[in-house]
A and B are shown apart, each in its own frame.
Chain A
Amino acid sequence: MSACVGLSATGCRTFTATSSQGLALMHEILFIVSAMRLPIVMATVNRALSAPINIWGDLSDVMANRDIGWVQLFGNNGQEVYDLTPCCFKIAEDRRVLLPVMLNIDGFTLSHVVEPIETLTQQDFDDFLPPYEPAQRLDVNQPISMGPVGPPDIFTETKKVHDDALVASRIVVNEVLDDFGRRFGRSYRAVEEYQTDDADVLLFTIGGTLGETGHTAVDALRARGMKIGQVLLRLWRPFPFDDIRRIFTGRKAVIVYDRALSVGGPGGPVASELRAAMYGRPDAPAILSLIAALGGRDVRAVEMAEQIENAVRRAGEGEYPAYEMVGVRE
């Protein structure tokens, strides 16, 4: 990542990819990229962090990097990853954003499988994503210092600027996704909804494995008469508080599946954010946090449906823990 910082600082369009321990190892530099406003795009194949040594799918790597100040998106299948990659560059390089963008991809389930996708032509890419014009770069003829010391009388102002930029990038994310949809017919949103119109129970997932297995579980539960829908979080940062509040207000219960655990903390990272978004608001739903599919553990749709039914029953009774790890042998 340090090499990418240098490359991007000289004005090159820069891409890299990483996963798990590699992401953890570059943790220090990730903050530097975003604070220096370098529009690097990185694919992160989400896998568990050791120990024990585990190379399988899990979101503990990205969840430990929530606060790096990047735009963070999730692609839930091969087609989405293919489509969102050019979108990431367009978001990152927009003069209103100028921030790095991370595209998260479930490890193994997406990274190690082959699936058919529809491709774009070179002309499609060229039209959608024009040649890169850096907003600022290292140039011996016009020397500048990038990444200098920011003493106490400057540092707070730089963080305010960074936060404002990341929050405001939300508008550009929507614009770029809409533009992609208009051009190529595949539309994406910061928060995706499935069967939510009449639902009084919502399943809330992040990442492709739980997301697509969740679809099957929702279909099965609907066939059994449960008024359930599903919400898939595509945009993790900036967290889309407005969409989240619009979608979740007035529902009876939300079953949140997290594929990472904040050990000794509030449970699942996504559930924690949802609770923060809904705290103190009238008509907030009961929020049940389930932790599943850690380190590549399979969660079958039939198990997920059972876990959801169980959670919904407990939500109705009003008695449930702050979070629960499901599918654990105890």
Chain B
Amino acid sequence: MNVKPSTRELALGAAILTPGSAREYHTGGWRTFYPKTDEALCITCGLCWIFCPDACRVITKRENPIPGVLPDYYDFNPDYCKGCGICAQECPTGAIRMIEEGAP
């Protein structure tokens, strides 16, 4: 959640008054570490996509296409990735590293 309500802004009993507002809630805010993918090492095998518990591995166009390799690689969806690190653990080429949010 981007704007956190104060005590004066909460509805009675913390009710939610806007139907469908759950789609505005981004659980990516719970993340401490984010998965940084080195697109040069990604072979687009899709193992991270299979293992990701939050369906947050996203087919992304490579900035630097590699001849003979698929034009896409797997990056992450920052809105919902909770930073569990399973993708980094499972990646067979070591393309994914977990980096602390806000780290220099």
**Does A168 have its Cβ within 8 Å of any Cβ on chain B?**
no
Contact among B7, B16, B30 for A164, CB-based, below 8 A: B7
Chain B contact residues, majority secondary structure: loop
* Contact flags B1-29 to A (C-beta < 8 A → 1, else 0): 10011110011111111010000000001
Contact among A135, A147, A153, A160 for B4, CB-based, below 8 A: A153
B interface residue count range (under 10 / 10 to 19 / 20 to 34 / 35 or more) = 10 to 19
Contact across chains for B16 and A145 when beta carbons are under 8 A apart? yes
- Smallest CB gap from A38: residue in B: B13
B90: min CB distance to chain A, Å: 28
Contact across chains for B14 and A143 when beta carbons are under 8 A apart? no
**Does A278 have its Cβ within 8 Å of any Cβ on chain B?**
no
Contact across chains for B16 and A144 when beta carbons are under 8 A apart? yes
Cα distance A148–B13 in the bound complex, in angstroms = 9
Contact across chains for A146 and B13 when beta carbons are under 8 A apart? yes
Contact across chains for A154 and B13 when beta carbons are under 8 A apart? no
A172: min CB distance to chain B, Å: 16
Question: A153: which B residues are within 8 A, CB to CB?
Answer: 1, 4, 29
Contact across chains for A147 and B13 when beta carbons are under 8 A apart? yes
Provided the pairs A143-B19, A153-B1 are in contact, do residues A37 and B13 lie with their beta carbons within 8 angstroms? yes
Contact across chains for A161 and B10 when beta carbons are under 8 A apart? yes
**Does A36 have its Cβ within 8 Å of any Cβ on chain B?**
yes
Question: B15: which A residues are within 8 A, CB to CB?
Answer: 36, 136, 144-148
**Does A221 have its Cβ within 8 Å of any Cβ on chain B?**
no
Contact among B1, B12, B30 for A135, CB-based, below 8 A: B12
Contact among A38, A98, A135, A150 for B14, CB-based, below 8 A: A150
Contact across chains for B12 and A160 when beta carbons are under 8 A apart? no
Cα distance A98–B14 in the bound complex, in angstroms = 13
* Contact flags A9-50 to B (C-beta < 8 A → 1, else 0): 000000000000000000000000001111000000000000
Cα distance A38–B30 in the bound complex, in angstroms = 31
**Does A158 have its Cβ within 8 Å of any Cβ on chain B?**
yes
Cα distance A143–B16 in the bound complex, in angstroms = 9
B12: min CB distance to chain A, Å: 5
**Does A157 have its Cβ within 8 Å of any Cβ on chain B?**
yes
Contact across chains for A157 and B12 when beta carbons are under 8 A apart? no
Contact across chains for B5 and A36 when beta carbons are under 8 A apart? no
Cα distance A135–B17 in the bound complex, in angstroms = 13
B5: min CB distance to chain A, Å: 7
Cα distance A176–B1 in the bound complex, in angstroms = 41
- Interface residue ranges of B29-73 to A (CB < 8 Å): 29-30
Contact across chains for B7 and A35 when beta carbons are under 8 A apart? no
- Smallest CB gap from B6: residue in A: A157
Question: A146: which B residues are within 8 A, CB to CB?
Answer: 13, 15
Contact across chains for A161 and B4 when beta carbons are under 8 A apart? no
A146: min CB distance to chain B, Å: 5
Cα distance A38–B17 in the bound complex, in angstroms = 16
A-B residue pairs in contact (CB < 8 Å), sample of 7: A35-B14, A136-B12, A148-B15, A154-B14, A157-B7, A158-B10, A161-B14
What are the 4 tightest A-B residue pairs by CB atom distance, in nearest-first order? A37-B13, A145-B16, A36-B13, A143-B19
Beyond A147-B15, A150-B14, A153-B29, list 12 extra A-B contacts (CB 8 Å): A35-B13, A38-B13, A136-B13, A144-B17, A145-B16, A145-B19, A148-B14, A153-B4, A154-B10, A157-B10, A158-B10, A161-B7
B residues neighboring A (CB under 8 Å) = 1, 4-7, 10-17, 19, 29-30
